Amino acid sequence: MNDTACLLKLYDEKYELEDYQGGVPRWCSGCGDNAILAAVQRLCRDEALHPEKTVFVSGIGCSSRFPHYMRTYGFHGIHGRALPVAEGVRMARPDLHVFVNTGDGDCCSIGAAHWIHAVRYNMNLSVFLHDNQIYGLTKKQASPTSPRGTKSNTSPRGSWLEALNPLTVTLGVQNVSFVAQVVDWMPDVLYEVVRAAFHHKGLSFVRIIQRCPEWLPDQWEPFIKDPKRVQRLESSGHDAGNLDRAREVASKMDPIPVGILYRNENVPCYEDLRRSPKLRTPELVRTGLEAEFDKFTVWPS
């Protein structure tokens, strides 16, 4: 950025953290969602996003309360459907910043079809998967990402199935263009990855391992206590341009790989393929309509 641009930015668009703070968060104390909120508010401030030009779209779940805690536009929709709502917003409005907050049940269970196709559409959206490996809001049921053996209200003697891995699934979809993983307890890495996701042109999918002290209080303690069990991809020389490597890394959970697993800036965005550069004036519509009428008209003879 050159100096004038810098200056302009200073004068025009200076925002404080408070400018992005909406309602008082109602999450449990120690809930990882708080950390995600802090990172995202910091991002908005640092990028000086116009609050009125910014939209957070979510589904239903604890994590989907997110938009209410921002002071931007927000869309707290229905369970599982955050992605298609966000796609509609994006298709209609290339000028907005569009974020998606979704839970592991929201995205990987009820909304799974939308998730797969959203990756394929590769619309310019930053998608944050708040993966606490449990259904929080509905009070502790196993989710598709719950590790096998998770005791929950619907699996009191332990869940039966192996967990679904959101990273490998996403990396398996044609047109995937950005996949990252972070943990809520490393605020700086979280911030950096969220920022990279924001700057990516295309759908950036960030799985955020999110603590739910309410229902799974011990889930991540061993990982927090032993920093060796979290692996920074940046410092390990991981090549984020290599899809095969990304899939390999994605399939390992101990140590937890954090950082950008895969990034490809060259995947076209669906909205760019579909949106017409034509300005939709009444005149354009009239001309188009008359041309169609001509095809079907029976003229008086």
Ligand X SMILES: Cc1ncc(C[n+]2csc(CCOP(=O)(O)OP(=O)(O)O)c2C)c(N)n1
Binding region for ligand SF4 (CB under 6 A): 27-28, 31, 33, 62, 132, 136, 212-215
Shortest CB 283 distance to another protein, Å: 9
How many residues are listed for the chain in this entry?
A: 301
Residue 68 in the binding site for another protein (CB under 8 A): yes
- Between the CA of residue 265 and those of 1, 41, 229, what are the distances in Å? 20, 25, 30
Q: Are strands 256-263 and 54-58 parallel, antiparallel or unpaired?
A: unpaired
Smaller CB separation from ligand SF4, 153 or 287: 153
Q: Which two tokens stand for residue 272?
A: 């760019």
Closest alpha carbon to 196 in 259, 242, 253, 145:
259
Does 104 contact Mg ion by CB under 5 A?
A: yes
Among 15, 25, 42, 84, binds another protein (CB under 8 A): 84
Tell me the H-state helices in 15-54: 32-46
Q: In angstroms, give the least distance from the CB of 86 to ligand SF4.
A: 21
- Give 104 or 271: the residue with its C-beta nearer to Mg ion: 104
Residues binding Mg ion: what is the number (CB under 5 A)? 3
> CB 270 → ligand X: shortest distance, Å?
25
18 touches another protein by CB under 8 A:
no
Q: Which two tokens stand for residue 86?
A: 């966000």
Question: Closest approach of Cβ 115 to ligand X, in Å?
Answer: 12
Residue 265: name the closest of 171, 175, 182 by CA: 175
Angstrom distance (rounded) from CA 280 to CA 181: 41
Report d(CA 244, CA 239) in Å as an integer.
10
31 binds, among ligand X, Mg ion, ligand SF4, none (CB under 5 to 8 A by kind): ligand SF4
Binding stretches for Mg ion (CB under 5 A) = 103-104, 132
